[in-house]
A and B are shown apart, each in its own frame.
Chain A
Amino acid sequence: MKNSQSSKLSDNARELGLLGFIVVLALLFQVRNPEFLTFSNLRDLLNNTAILGVLSVGMMMILLTGGIDLSIGATIAFSGMVTALTVSAYPTISPILSLAEGTLVGVVIGIIVGFLVAYCKILPIIASLGMMNIVRGLTYLVSKGKWVSAYQMSDGFKAISIGTTLGINNLILIAIVIYAVFAYFLSSTRTGRYIYAVGSSPDTADVVGIPRKRILLLVYTTMGALAGLAGVLWVSRYASAQGDTAQGYEMSVIAAVVLGGVSVSGGRGKVIGIILGTILFGMLNNALPLINISPFWQQAIQGIVILLAVISNVLIKRNNDRMTLRRRAI
């Protein structure tokens, strides 16, 4: 049917556009520096982006509900620091336990943020801004201002991020698993669809009987869990846990997610989109040094990416609304 075909194309237009952009950009980078499209560089790129990928899923769900979470950088630091300290004190601890510990720390933080947003009716920006500082402060407290460095970490711990399983880097594997699990969750389970519903129209969600507060709590708790997990992966990868680990990283996550087509007003976004957005973002970060653009440009580029992405969403919607009005023949 005519309508469905054209809407299918426009539904996926954004993702196709992103893919196209990635390809074009990759070719451009390759031209400037043939080192770009090599196996080792690409593997590095994927490794670097894996953590971003894990986080992007959580942030996507938060944006789907129309919220935001600025505390994840702090959560990464705190969970990383706690796990690193645990490992340096108990070197024989199994890496799986470390992962669980970090995730649990993140869950606790996520529950608190979720509770503040869902039940105390505090704006997400403020709740997460406050928690960001509380958790960051806790990180410094817990570490007593000192770093945990590589020699204090067990090999098993460091292997979490550097090691491979079945021939694939652990990081990449974890990211793939997370993407797969949540892609399924968001598209094929009732709760997953409720997340979209809450963001698309909170009033209708109330009318239909969707438990909005519980959904919000779930979403922020999940983000916390993923951030906690990412914390362990981070300190394991860089073999160092510091007070200012991942400072400001939430912005990168937001950029990747927004780039991937997730709307900041809620209700719209696809996992395939954020996979592409993450890759594109990771590509920018990876390639810019290769073509001699200083890493100090990264931040500004991030900000411009976010701004342009959200503005273009607005312009597209305005155009659609205009079309709808025109159809109303008077």
Chain B
Amino acid sequence: MSERTLEIEKPRSLKDFSFQWEWFLIALFVIINIVNSLLTPYYFTADTFLSTPMNFLDKAFLVYPMMMVIVLGNIDVSVGSIIALSSVIMAVSYNAGLSMPLAMVLCLVVSTSCGFLNGFLQAKFRELSSTIITISTQIIYRGIAYIILEDKAAGKFPTWFSFLGWGYVGKVPFIMIVFIVFTIFFAILIHKTRFGRQLFAMGNNSTASRYSGIKTENMLISVSTIMGFMAGITALFLTSRMGSTRPNVATGYELDVIAMVVLGGVSTSGGKGRITGPLLSIFIIGFLNYGLGLFNISAQVLLIIIGALLIVAVMLQNLRFDKSGQKSGAKHSQLKR
């Protein structure tokens, strides 16, 4: 044996390079808040930063699982529909006599099943892209919601139910506490566990992952199921905030969530990303919305901005990852999405 030794410590240069994108996002966040503060007095109060997020944190629960989906190299446009269906079933079953806690459990069961179905279809029909599968299920799930509730609303929930979306624990909104818990959970899951490691392996090179013994089909199903579950969580909080539900709720949620993930530095070709990016994006887009509201800009203009943001974010990621070298083999082709 020769003298050759291998270094174990992480090289200096690598450490400096890593968080560049997040610094950019932080800067963006700061700018937005500065602009906002010019529009309204008393902006920089604890109240602003604690209460405003209540408006957008329900959507935030979807961002982490969507990040996992995109890291895998897939996409899921059915989340809004899953929210609608599980929310509608919860409302209808509660109004039909089921106890509220059970109705809430039912909501989660339905949403998780929807997610499971998404994953199952993708695993069994690998020839089909996640695009076409989730487009179909998007239509089906919301379609079922329409069959159940037609164009009516359902609600009349018990008063305590609104605590979810509106309640505070001390000075901190309940939803924010739950959000922080999930953030910690997903940060650990994605970056510290074997599951997360397998996720990135598959997103980078699904063939090598399979050859190394990673159960790729199971991973697909797991990720989709988790997405379904979190959609149910979103449904709970969203419905709680609105006080009632209809089949057309959460329309367009997928756009916002995907935009948040991509803006957060996760590439659509898969295999790369860090949770800090999307986490920051949630607040960037959230406070951007808030600021636009201060400007009296309508919700529709927001659509334009988010749409443009999504496109710009993807272009930026394309540029970013094109420069830093080739991907290893076995990626889906551009067309098979």
Q: Per the CB under 8 Å rule, do A and B touch in the complex?
A: yes
Specify which of A65, A136, A199, A304 is in contact with B140 (CB 8 Å cutoff).
Answer: A304
Q: Check if B127 is an interface residue, CB within 8 A of chain A.
A: yes
Q: Please tell me if A165 contacts chain B, counting CB pairs below 8 Å.
A: no
Query: Most B CB atoms within 10 A — which of A255, A296, A318?
Result: A296
Is the pair A317, B127 in contact by a Cβ cutoff of 8 Å? yes
Cβ contact within 8 Å between B304 and A134:
yes
**Chain B residues closer than 8 Å to A121, beta-carbon distance:** 318, 334
B315 pairs with A303, CB closer than 8 A: no
Q: In the bound complex, do residue A133 and residue B306 qualify as a contact, i.e. CB atoms below 8 Å apart? A: yes
Q: Interface code A61-105, partner B: CB below 8 Å = 1, 0 otherwise?
A: 000011110100000000000000000000000000000000000
A137 near B140: Cβ-Cβ < 8 Å: no
- The residue among A70, A133, A138, A265 with the most chain B CB atoms within 10 A of its own CB is A133
- Interface flags for A118-147 (1: CB within 8 Å of B; 0: not) read 001111111101111110111111000100
Given A141-B301, A303-B136, do A125 and B77 touch, yes or no (CB 8 Å)? yes
Not counting A134-B307, A136-B303, a sample of 6 additional A-B residue pairs whose C-beta atoms are within 8 angstroms of each other reads A66-B335, A122-B315, A123-B334, A130-B314, A199-B335, A311-B125
Q: Assess the B255–A133 pair: CB atoms within 8 A.
A: yes
Q: DSSP majority for the A interface?
A: helix
Residue of B nearest to A67 (CB): B335
The answer, yes or no, to whether A264 is at the interface (CB within 8 Å) is yes
Q: How far is the CA of A304 from the CA of B140 in the complex (A)?
A: 6
Provide the residues of chain A in CB contact with B50, threshold 8 Å. Answer: none
Given contacts A137-B304, A311-B125, contact A125 B337 (CB under 8 A): yes
Tell me if A300 counts as interface (CB < 8 A to partner B).
yes
- With a 10 A CB-CB cut-off, give which of A66, A129, A265 has the most chain B CB atoms: A129
The verdict on A243 contacting B300 (CB below 8 Å), with A129-B310, A296-B150, A311-B125 known, is yes
The reply to whether the CB of A254 lies closer than 8 angstroms to some CB of chain B is: yes
* Pair B315/A145 contact, Cβ less than 8 Å: no
Task: Provide the residues of chain B in CB contact with A317, threshold 8 Å.
Answer: 127
User: With A and B bound together, what is the CA distance between A307 and B132 in angstroms?
Assistant: 8
In the complex, how many angstroms separate the beta carbon of B227 from the nearest chain A beta carbon? 16
Contact B336 A125 (CB under 8 A): no
Most chain A CB atoms below 10 A, which of B142, B308, B311 = B311
Looking at the assembled complex, report how far the CB atom of B151 sits from the nearest CB atom of chain A, in whole angstroms.
Answer: 7
B209 within 8 A of A: no
Indicate if the CB atoms of B150 and A251 lie closer than 8 Å.
no
- Residue B95 CB within 8 A of the other chain: no
Number of A-B contacts (CB under 8 A): 157
Minimum CB distance partner of A127 in chain B = B311
User: Interface residues of B, CB < 8 Å — how many?
Assistant: 51
Q: Digitize B82-120: 1 where CB-to-A-CB distance is under 8 Å, 0 elsewhere.
A: 000000000000000000000000000000000000000
* Residues of chain A with a CB closer than 8 A to B255's CB: 129-130, 132-133
Minimum CB–CB distance for B132 against chain A, Å: 5
| Alpha-carbon gap, A140 to B144, bound state (A) | 28
Give the docked Cα–Cα distance between A269 and B121 (Å): 24
Which one of B252, B255, B307 has the greatest number of beta carbons of chain A within 10 Å?
Answer: B307
Residues of B within 8 A of A150 (CB): none
Knowing A67-B335, A243-B300 are in contact, say whether A137-B136 is a contact too (CB < 8 A).
Answer: no
Q: Does A122 contact B131, Cβ atoms closer than 8 Å? A: no
Contacts A123-B268, A125-B131; A130 near B147 (Cβ below 8 A):
no
* CB contact list, B143-166 vs A, under 8 A: 143-144, 146-147, 150-151
Contact A140 B300 (CB under 8 A): yes
Is residue B55 contacting chain A, with contact meaning CB distance below 8 A? no
**Are A251 and B268 in contact (CB-based, < 8 A)?**
no
Chain B residues near A266 (CB-CB < 8 A): 335
Among B129, B139, B300, which residue has its beta carbon within 8 angstroms of that of A299?
B139
A296 to B75, CA, bound (A): 27
Q: With A133-B255, A296-B151, A307-B137 in contact, is A141–B300 under 8 Å at CB?
A: yes
Instruction: Using known A-B contacts A125-B337, A243-B300, A265-B336, determine if residue A303 contacts B128 with beta carbons closer than 8 Å.
Output: no
Shortest C-beta distance, B30 to chain A (Å), equals 25
Q: How far is the CA of A127 from the CA of B140 in the complex (A)?
A: 23
Is A42 an interface position by the 8 A CB rule? no
Docked pose: A21 CA to B259 CA in angstroms? 42
**A137-B268 contact, Cβ under 8 Å, with A116-B311, A296-B150, A297-B147:** no
Residues of A within 8 A of B13 (CB): none
Query: CB distance A306 to B336 under 8 Å?
Result: no
Chain A residues numbered 292-330 whose CB sits less than 8 Å from any CB in chain B? 294, 296-304, 306-307, 310-311, 314, 317-318
Given A122-B315, A303-B137, A310-B136, A297 contacting B336 (CB threshold 8 A) = no
